[in-house]
């Protein structure tokens, strides 16, 4: 892996590889994730960008036009990992034959529906085979593009169109899948979990590490969705900060099997500070539902303590 440095001004001055004029919603976390991951590419390096079907795909690509400055491939929901691993293999063959001399990186994006669920087999195969590529999940916690249906990334008690809160339901009854841990179990060189906080240093540094670590890498980025999470668009950064400060979304890396905690809150905030900013959890704050908040807090604390043990904290 090449040495990682962070210079905020230099990073922000880099050319945007996701062009303006796409159709993503205002306040969308997916756009922020893609722009900043691609800014981690070093000037002069080229990329092939893959993209599973989803919000990001339908909003940045309408044949024959694309918002990406680099080569772009739209994959089906279930095969983004396989598509890019095939391109990466072909690249090495052509380079060996002397038909390509440029330095290419391979990065594919998928939402949680196409990553946690439908495309998990394809992602797992690409990681297990050891392809030199980065899979980035922009995790907005539901199938947002098709109407806010629950996915295995949806947090417990969230209100979705397939787990509606009301008289007969408290929202999604199951806890969310820990996909970063699943990817770490593949024994790949680099896995990281991040989101949008501060000056984006955590996101940028981890993106650069993922791109320039030889072999397969996986980034899980919490990318809030104003439509599905039901928040005011300008609140996105505050929501991400609260997710980290409440330990709902810890910042960590797994480098060559070693778990590393990147941030530990000095004063861990109660989970309700994160939940009350989102309309999908408003039913948790009605009288009589205090036990739901307690259960959610207990599960969050359990996962946090488990992570601390993995990181030998």
Q: For residue 259, is pLDDT > 60? A: yes
Cβ neighbours for 160, distance < 8 A, ≥ 6 positions apart? 142, 148, 149, 150, 154, 171, 172, 228, 280
Between 11 and 128, where is the model more confident? 128
Percentage, residues of the chain above pLDDT 70: 98
pLDDT at residue 313 in the model: 81
Global confidence as pTM: 0.95
Return d(Cα 122, Cα 238) in angstroms, integer.
34
What does the pLDDT look like over 99-118, one tens digit per residue? 999 999 999 999 999 999 99
pLDDT at residue 147 in the model: 95
CATH level 2 (architecture), domain 8-310: 3-Layer(aba) Sandwich (3.40)
Q: Is the dihedral of CA 29, 279, 237, 241 positive or negative?
A: negative
Q: Average pLDDT in the 241-251 region?
A: 98
What does the pLDDT look like over 176-206, one tens digit per residue? 999 999 999 999 999 999 999 988 999 999 9
Q: For residue 74, is pLDDT > 90? A: yes
Largest CA distance in the chain: 69
Q: What is the mean pLDDT of the chain?
A: 95
Return d(Cα 56, Cα 22) in angstroms, integer.
9
User: Could you give phi then psi for residue 132, rounded to 5 degrees?
Assistant: -80, 85
pLDDT at residue 1 in the model: 43
pLDDT at residue 23 in the model: 87
pLDDT at residue 179 in the model: 98
Write down the H helix ranges in the chain.
8-13, 29-39, 55-60, 80-96, 112, 120-129, 179-184, 201-212, 226-229, 236-245, 272-275, 290-310
What DSSP designation does 69 have? Answer: S
What are the residue ranges spanned by the domains of the chain? 8-310
Minimum mean pLDDT range among 43-52, 55-64, 81-90: 55-64
Q: How confident is the model at residue 11 (pLDDT cuts 50, 70, 90)?
A: confident
pLDDT at residue 3 in the model: 53
pLDDT at residue 204 in the model: 95
Q: For residue 41, is pLDDT > 80? A: yes
Q: Average pLDDT in the 211-231 region?
A: 97
Return d(Cα 41, Cα 47) in angstroms, integer.
8
Q: How confident is the model at residue 227 (pLDDT cuts 50, 70, 90)?
A: very high
CA atoms within 13 A on the CB side of 67: 20
Q: How confident is the model at residue 2 (pLDDT cuts 50, 70, 90)?
A: very low
Return d(Cα 193, Cα 252) in angstroms, integer.
6
DSSP 232-250: -GGGHHHHHHHHHHTTSS-
């Amino acid at each position: 892996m090449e040495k990682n440095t962070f210079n905020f001004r230099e990073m922000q001055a880099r050319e945007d590889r996701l062009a303006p004029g796409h159709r993503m919603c205002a306040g969308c976390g997916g756009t922020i994730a893609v722009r900043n991951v691609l800014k981690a590419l070093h000037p002069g390096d080229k990329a092939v960008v893959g993209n599973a079907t989803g919000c990001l795909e339908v909003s940045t690509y309408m044949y024959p036009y694309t918002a990406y400055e680099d080569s772009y491939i739209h994959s089906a929901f279930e095969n983004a990992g396989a598509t890019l691993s095939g391109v990466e293999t072909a690249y090495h063959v052509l380079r060996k034959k002397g038909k390509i001399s440029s330095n290419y990186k391979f990065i594919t994006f998928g939402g949680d529906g196409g990553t946690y669920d439908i495309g998990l087999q394809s992602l797992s195969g690409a990681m297990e085979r050891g392809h030199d590529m980065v899979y980035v999940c922009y995790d907005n916690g539901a199938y947002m593009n098709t109407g806010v249906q629950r996915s295995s990334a949806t947090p417990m008690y969230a209100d979705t169109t397939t787990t509606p809160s009301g008289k007969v339901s408290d929202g999604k009854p199951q806890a969310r899948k820990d996909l970063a841990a699943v990817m770490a179990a593949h024994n790949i060189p680099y896995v990281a979990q991040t989101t949008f906080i501060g000056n984006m240093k955590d996101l940028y540094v981890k993106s650069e590490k993922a791109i320039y670590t030889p072999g397969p890498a996986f980034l899980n980025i919490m990318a809030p969705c104003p439509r599905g999470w039901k928040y005011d668009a300008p609140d996105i950064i505050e929501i991400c900060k609260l997710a980290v400060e409440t330990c709902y979304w810890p910042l960590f890396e797994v480098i060559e099997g070693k778990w590393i905690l990147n941030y530990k809150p000095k004063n861990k905030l109660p989970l309700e500070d994160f939940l009350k900013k989102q309309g999908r959890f408003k039913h948790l704050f009605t009288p009589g539902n205090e036990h739901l908040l307690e259960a959610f807090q207990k599960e969050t604390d359990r996962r946090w303590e488990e992570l601390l043990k993995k990181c030998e904290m």
